[in-house]
Structure 1
Amino acid sequence: MSQLFSPYQLGSLSLANRIVIAPMCQYSAENGCANDWHSIHLGHLALSGAGLMIVEATAVEPDGRISPFDLGLWNDETEAALAQALRPARRWSQMPIAIQLAHAGRKASTAKPWEGGGQLDPDKGGWTVHAPSAVGFENYPRLPRALTRDDIGRLCEAFAGSARRAVRLGFDAIELHGAHGYLMHQFLSPLSNKREDDYGGSLENRMRFPLEVLDAIRAVVPAGYPVGFRISGTDWVEGGWDIEQSIVFVKAGQARGAAFVDVSGGGISTAQKIPLGPSYQVPLARAVKQATGLPTMAVGLITEPEQAEAIIGTGEADFVALARGILYDPRWPWHAAAALGATVKAPSQYLRSPPRQHSKLFA
């Protein structure tokens, strides 16, 4: 039996297999509101046969968006728009759907990637950005303003408010974005956090804000509701955040009720040196899983069914999360099931689609 296609119970959530659709920014929202593009994007991925889909990084306040076109969940208007966008996927698919809640911190106020991605000036649609310290991202010209203690408390409330809305919308889990150089990661990494109060300096202090956000969200979601983190297992920069600190952080989150961890890497500095290659970040996930036992997602150039099967079968991670690969091949789980002799769910309208040699593909 394929381990990739074995079921898994994640808190109150039952997953049919170990394939996760990772959150992928679309830069297509309007004032934080989802629209028809999101209905199309989420709808076709919901028919892919994956075990879980995580909606893209969704800002908890307008200033937390990476770009002016990021998805948001901070008021009734953004909540209603997301409900509408999800409706087709919910009608035609039973796939569980989670959401990633996020704040971009010093990496906010940028253009769309296909329009250069640079920092936007206020007269071109940008805004003043905030961060743990007045330390800018290297290639952005304007420095962020350091968050006050009152700002930090307000942001915890903003995350909790978005979590309440996520539960109302029927999302099955919440992932907190603590990776890729965004706000929570900025607090964690000594490269970006130069604070001298109890939110900076020691590892314990640098972990304080993300853990307070976790506490605030756990307080407003139902018992057993899965809340986890996406982290960068390392900054890939000497003297920065690393796997040893990641393990300490994950253990602290686990003690406070974190249900899973999604282990990525990098994003805090342009000085990062990433050893790109197939499964290049899987060792980070393996280290976290072995040290903590927390349900773990692996990411990073996982492209082949046999590769994903080996990651799950050897216990390196509990899930594999696909991003660009599943955009390129939205039926990747079908093709993986065919290659591994497994079965996968598909809509009735597509039951006659497999080639004859895979006539028993669909459960």
Structure 2
Amino acid sequence: MSYLLEPLKTSKLTLKNRLIMPPMATSKSEKDGRVSEDILKYYDEKSKGGYISLVIIEHSFIDKAGKASENQLSISNDSVVEGLQKLSEIIHRNASKTIMQINHAGSAAMRNVTGCEVVGPSAVSNPIKGDMPRELTGLEIDDIVQKFKAAALRVKEAGFDGVEIHSAHGYLLNQFFSPLTNKRNDEYGGNVKSRIKIHLDIIKAVRGAVGDNFPIFLRLGASDYMTGGSTVEDSKIAAKEFEKAGVDVLDISGGLCRYTLPGNTSQGYFSPLTEEIKKVVSVPVILTGGITESKAAETLLLQHKADLIGVGRAIYRDSSWAQRAIESLR
């Protein structure tokens, strides 16, 4: 049997195959971040038939100040839970599992979107976008940790199968991880283990809220691919700490380079990162990035580059991609 069709089983999660749909922003929510009919229709269409084992819902803001863009989905207050329950029910009815990605944009936020002061780990401009941030105080960091915790509990209450903490693509937790954007001199800055203190605090808080059996994923921007930025060696240290802290799955992508590598259009262009990280952890590792062919997905799994394959843009463009891919391997 095809490796892509093999189930993946952990103590907390069983997936019927190795194909997942990674989080991709749609800008289809209501203006206040509530679930819209367009969101429901979009995820219904993508998950129809249950060919995708796991659908990861696009990044959702935990706090108004951390909103990344207009019409971004919200997980910032209890009023959104009812709409999110409808979303999880639709995907489950289509026989796929689903988790939600929760996020704070940090210095990638813009005042004209949030109406709030832009903040980050340090007063360093974000290479992607955004206004010059103010450096967060220790008390404000504690508050953000609590907002991640509350958001994760809402994800569970809305009926999802797990939660993903977003630390990639130049957003707040990625900003703490990267030495390019984290110039702090306190316990949250300096070496890798200090730069991930906020991550470990969030993982601990989230685990305390959702309980021992609810899967926690973490999306890690495992390299900035920029001079002076984070490297795969940093990420190997971080990945081991995340596993020890209780993360159940690591979802690997780019850091300040975001989700593409300029000039690299190979299938699975982040596979050098996942291959290295797999050497130091025992939890499943997700690979995304440029994968558009089922044979390429199969090869990457057989080469032990990853345990799960995320296919994003191909599924975004063609909702029947997953059906054709799965049926071609049966």
TM-score by length of 2: 0.94
1:32 corresponds to 2:62: no
156 and 139 in structure 1: CA distance in 2 versus 1, 3 angstrom threshold: closer
Which residue does 2:163 correspond to in 1? 174
Q: In 1, distance between residues paired with 2:182 and 2:114?
A: 27
Query: 1:260-283 CA distances to partner (integer Å, 9 max, x unpaired)?
Result: 1011113358xx866342221111
Q: 1:182 to 1:58 in 2, by over 3 A?
A: same
* Equivalent in the alignment of 2:78: 76
Query: Displacement, 1:142?
Result: 2.6
Within 5 Å, which residues of 2 pair with 1:200-279? 200-267=189-256, 275-279=264-268
Change beyond 3 A, Cα 1:105–1:268: farther
Secondary structure of 2:48's aligned partner: coil
Q: 8 Å contact 2:249–2:283 — kept in the other structure?
A: yes
Amino acid at match of 2:24: M
- Matched-pair contact (CA < 8 Å) for 2:25–2:72: yes
How much has 1:164 moved relative to structure 2? 0.8
Using the alignment, how far apart are the partners of 2:166 and 2:81 within structure 1? 19
CA distance in 2, matches of 1:230, 1:139: 18
* Distance across 2 between alignment mates of 1:85 and 1:25: 15
Residue 177 of structure 2: aligned partner: 188
> CA separation in 2, counterparts of 1:141 and 1:17?
39
User: Residue deviations 1:193-249, cap 9 Å, x none?
Assistant: 011111111222101011111111011113232102111121011211010000100
Q: Which residue of 2 aligns with 1:112?
A: none
Alpha-carbon contact 1:32-1:62 (below 8 Å) kept: no
In the alignment, what sits opposite 1:321?
A: 310
Matches within 5 A, 1:1-363: 1-29=1-29, 30-48=31-49, 49-90=51-92, 92-109=93-110, 122=112, 126-138=115-127, 140=129, 142-267=131-256, 275-340=264-329, 342=330
**What CA distance in whole angstroms lies between the structure 1 residues aligned with 2:133 and 2:22?**
29
The letter of the residue matching 1:6 is E
Tell me which moved more, 70-79 or 133-142. 133-142
Distance 1:84 1:224, change over 3 A: closer
Residues 34 and 81 of structure 1 are in contact (CA less than 8 Å); yes or no, is this contact kept in structure 2? yes
Alignment partners' CA distance in 1, 2:131 and 2:303: 46
Contact 1:264-1:300 within 8 A present in 2 as well: yes
Correspondence for 1:355: none
Q: Unpaired runs of 5+ in structure 1?
A: 110-120, 343-363
Secondary structure of the residue aligned to 2:4 is coil
Q: Please tell me the residue identity of whatever aligns with 1:78.
A: V
- SS of 1:176 mapped into structure 2: strand
- Is this contact kept in 2: 1:192–1:268, CA < 8 A? no
Greater mean deviation of Cα atoms: 331-340 or 311-320: 331-340
For 2:102, the aligned partner's letter is L
The answer to whether the Cα contact below 8 Å between 1:11 and 1:259 also exists between their aligned partners in 2 is: no
RMSD across aligned C-alpha pairs, in angstroms?
A: 1.8
Between Structure 1 and Structure 2, how many residues are aligned? 326
Q: Which of structure 1's runs of 4+ aligned residues deviate more than 4 A?
A: none
In structure 2, the residue corresponding to 1:55 is in which secondary structure?
A: strand
Q: Distance in 2 between matches of 1:276 and 1:135?
A: 31
Q: TM-score w.r.t. structure 1 length?
A: 0.85
Structure 1 residues 310-329: Cα deviation after superposition (integer angstroms, max 9, x where no partner): 11122211000111111112
Paired with 2:54 and 2:245, the residues of 1 have a C-alpha distance of: 23
Moved more, 181-190 or 230-239: 230-239
Change (3 A) 1:141 1:300: closer
Q: Distance in 2 between matches of 1:69 and 1:135?
A: 26
User: Is the partner of 2:57 in helix, strand or coil?
Assistant: strand
Q: How far 1:129 sits from its partner (Å)? A: 1.3
Larger Rg: 1
